[in-house]
A and B are shown apart, each in its own frame.
Chain A
């Protein structure tokens, strides 16, 4: 049956987009975290998508998250002498999370997720109708 590959492909996309949404949530939650577990300010993380040839055969390909990379752009520095994390000049190093960019990422991931769910529903109803061939 050919239509069932659609489930594998759309499923892989759902997993990948969920991963992206998770990373975006982490970035947004830590947009103001001046210290991470290693004592340094939080750095924004981004997922890397790649074609997953293992998921299905031939030219029908799913997607997978191959890596989660840290954003290497410079950290923000704000003047806040009252903050306990401030250095001797009164500057606090803040995470390099771009909140606007993360919101765009979030909307894009959720739209992509919805599209793939729609696709699965379409495939499901087509399969159900195929099962009814010749009946009634």
Chain B
């Protein structure tokens, strides 16, 4: 039954993880808006979510959980986005210091990502509420 709950909540949990990861990458772009030769990066959300759902990128976290009995579950976390998943942004206009960050675009994307993250939280909360009312009647 616990496995059933896990599966029910899996999609939005993975989506939250990928949103958080994308937020980090966009934060890195904004922080380096004035760094010469910095190349803005982003990840393809659809592909990243698909690979997270396929469990391809789910690995054991840095500090493993000690499992002293057979039934203990291993600790798992979303793997950090690898180089292949991170794409380079095509700059709208060339700049003299070879930096490809367009601050307004990055800010818009960051705000959009934060909004989607909140939407995900709302969906997750709704799902939990639905499951709770099913349990409690």
Contacts and interface: CB of A to CB of B under 8 A. Distances in A.
Contacts of B35: 49-51, 63
Q: Is the interface of B mostly helix, strand, loop or mixed?
A: helix
Interface residues of B, number: 34
A15 B71 CA distance: 48
B58 interface: no
Contact of B21 (A2, A49, A56, A130): A2
B34 A112 contact: yes
Nearest to B104: A115
Interface stretch (A4-12, A25-33, A76-84): A4-12
A70 B86 CA distance: 37
**Contact size class for A?**
35 or more
Given A115-B103, A133-B125, A133-B128, A10 B114 contact: no
Nearest to B107: A115
Contact of A122 (B24, B33, B80, B110): B110
Nearest to B85: A59
A126 B118 contact: yes
Contacts of A6: 23-24, 27
Nearest to A13: B31
A62 interface: yes
B5 to A, nearest CB: 12
A24 interface: no
Nearest to A108: B34
Interface of B: 16-17, 20-21, 23-25, 27-28, 30-36, 38, 41, 78, 80-81, 83, 86, 103, 107, 110-111, 114, 117-118, 121, 124-125, 128
Top 6 closest pairs, chain A to chain B, by CB:
A13-B31, A2-B20, A6-B27, A49-B35, A60-B24, A58-B80
Given A59-B83, A123-B27, 5 more contacts: A2-B78, A10-B31, A13-B31, A49-B32, A60-B25
